[in-house]
A and B are shown apart, each in its own frame.
Chain A
Amino acid sequence: MKGYFDYASGCPVDERVLEAMLPYFKIPGNPSSVHSQGYQAREAIEKARESVAELIEAEPNEIIFTSGATESNNLALIGFALRNKDKGRHIITSKIEHMSILNPCKFLQKNGFEISYVPVDKDGIVDLSFIENSIREDTILISIQHANNEIGTIQPIEEIKEISGNIPLHVDATASLGKIEVDIQTLKADLVTLSSNDIYGPRGVGALFVRKGVKLHPLILGGGQERGLRSGTENVAGIVGFGVAAEITKKEYKEESERLKRFRDRIIENVLKIENSYLNGHRERRLPNNVNVRFSYIEGESLVLSLDMEGIQASTGSACSSKTLQPSHVLTAIGLKHEEAHGSLLITLGRYNTEDDVNKLIEVLPSAVERLRMMSPLYRRR
């Protein structure tokens, strides 16, 4: 994992998590069975539920396990809308949400709901007055991410809650969990999306916090597991892993974030010394592990490939690296032109980054940028 700076795309599973999971691959019992093997699996799941709940200061029975953040977001949006459509058909969300929010919103729009998309400023902070003005009698849900996975900007969730009063609030905390405090008591959210892999747990597991009294319609129907909100035999080993990852996160995240923040600030300071480079996202209200920069005259995919040749793995919001050949919707929402978004580089730090990694990145990046600029016809024009 030396030189890995793409933690927002994927995290390795912590060794301690993996150790704890292994025995549960061998337990045959279905958690719904009454015999001892089933009971053992059930107990493990409930223990994990407590650990995840504890991480965000929630009650265990407010945690619904899912297959990951995408499913949690779908359940929060579509599940909530279906169950509460008698109260209204208007939902407010932001322009820089993850696609697992924006695409469910699109689906709801096609099915009789109205969505207001809140714009953001150049740093990626949502427009609070827009939210205030968008609220209507029939607004049933507001969904705003805690922090952005691409530009790292942290949203003023508490202020949004003040504005929105009693309107249920969903917060996608996928990017923020384990980086900054995610506390249900201060966020005052009614639904919160959590992902296991982003805190070094296994993939294929996530959770949705559902505050007591909030009603949802399940999207996956069957045997009625997870209080009927998510049927299907539980992914026991995965859930156990998520639980242990939550315990480790609870204990270690503050210290870890302080360490990563120092790395982050050093990287930002050094990268911005490169001529015509700019930081994307807010300088202070920013995840401790996120650096998103852009360089004029070059394209991001070729920069990612150049860095990979030097043993550094990072990411980009350039269109050329996406399936849709569209630049990142987050970068265009903060006002970047397409040609500016093409030159973006996303560096996300994590648990296993070392001082050496950071030194290497700082050493290698300027020459990689320079090499591509020397090839660029845009640079020539200067």
Chain B
Amino acid sequence: MYSEKLFEHFRNPRNVGEIENPDGVGTVGNPVCGDLMTFMIKVKDDVIEDIKFKTFGCGAAIATSSIATEMAKGKKIEEALKISKKVVADALGGLPPQKMHCSNLASDALRMAITDYLRKTNQIERIKELGLEKELKILEGEETEEHEETSEVEEFLND
């Protein structure tokens, strides 16, 4: 059900890990649903100089994280934001339909990390220009992701 390309990324995931003192961090998903991703970025001159991920989830979740970080690395912020769910899925030679929704969260994690960076560098105007208001609200805790089990997640993480 998975493509050869996807397996290749699952076997040898790129950019796994964490960045010390990251410029932006984005976490999406939750362990109740079975997928949770954290992306960290280092930005210099508006270019994503370094990017790392950590993912809890199925094969598709890990492979989409891997390829999304690979595509985003070295790109200007505006270019990196063009990495959509569809772009990620296409780059892997497609995803099984039931995996499109639940495991293809890598582009969301990337958007979140970028928004976090822009927020921390006081580029609020740009957040608006780039259409990242929703991500900003989530980061500021004004809005939650489309999951209701947030408290359970916290419980699990703090267990």
Chain A residues at the B interface, C-beta cutoff of 8 Å: 297-299, 301-302, 305, 309, 318-321, 323, 325, 327, 337-339, 342, 374-378, 380-381
Contact = CB atoms under 8 A, between A and B. Distances in A.
Contacts of B2: 305
A320 B56 contact: no
Given A338-B32, A338-B34, A380-B18, A321 B102 contact: no
B70 to A, nearest CB: 15
B10 A305 contact: yes
A299 B54 contact: no
A298 B34 contact: no
A310 to B, nearest CB: 11
A302 B10 contact: yes
B11 A318 contact: no
Interface stretch (B57-65, B75-83, B122-130, B138-146): B57-65
B58 A321 contact: yes
Contact of B56 (A297, A305, A319, A327): A297
Contact of A374 (B16, B36, B57, B58): B16
Interface residues of B, number: 31
B4 to A, nearest CB: 13
Contacts of A299: 34-35, 56-58, 61
A358 to B, nearest CB: 24
A376 B58 contact: no
Interface string B1-18: 010000100110100101
Contact of B34 (A309, A342, A375, A377): A342
Contact of B32 (A339, A374, A375, A376): A339
B13 A301 contact: no
A299 B56 CA distance: 6
Contacts of A305: 2, 7, 10, 59
A339 B153 CA distance: 9
Contact of A377 (B54, B102, B103): B54
Contacts of A380: 18, 38, 54
B55 to A, nearest CB: 6
Contacts of A338: 31-34
A301 B58 contact: yes
Given A299-B61, A338-B34, 14 more contacts: A297-B56, A299-B34, A299-B35, A299-B58, A301-B59, A302-B58, A302-B59, A302-B61, A320-B61, A325-B102, A337-B156, A339-B156, A374-B16, A375-B13
Contacts of B98: 323, 325
Nearest to A316: B58
Contacts of A319: 33-34
A300 B18 CA distance: 23
B27 interface: yes
Contacts of B156: 337, 339, 378
Contact of A375 (B11, B35, B54, B103): B54
Given A302-B62, A378-B31, A320 B57 contact: yes
B152 interface: yes
A309 B11 contact: yes
A339 B59 contact: no
B95 interface: no
A378 B157 contact: yes
B92 interface: no
15 contacts: A301-B58, A302-B59, A305-B10, A318-B34, A320-B57, A320-B61, A323-B98, A338-B31, A339-B31, A339-B34, A342-B34, A375-B55, A375-B56, A380-B54, A381-B157
A380 B33 CA distance: 19
Contacts of B136: none
A375 B62 contact: yes
Nearest to A381: B157
Nearest to B55: A375
A378 B36 contact: yes
B135 to A, nearest CB: 18
Contacts of A302: 10, 57-59, 61-62
A307 to B, nearest CB: 12
A374 B56 CA distance: 10
B106 interface: no
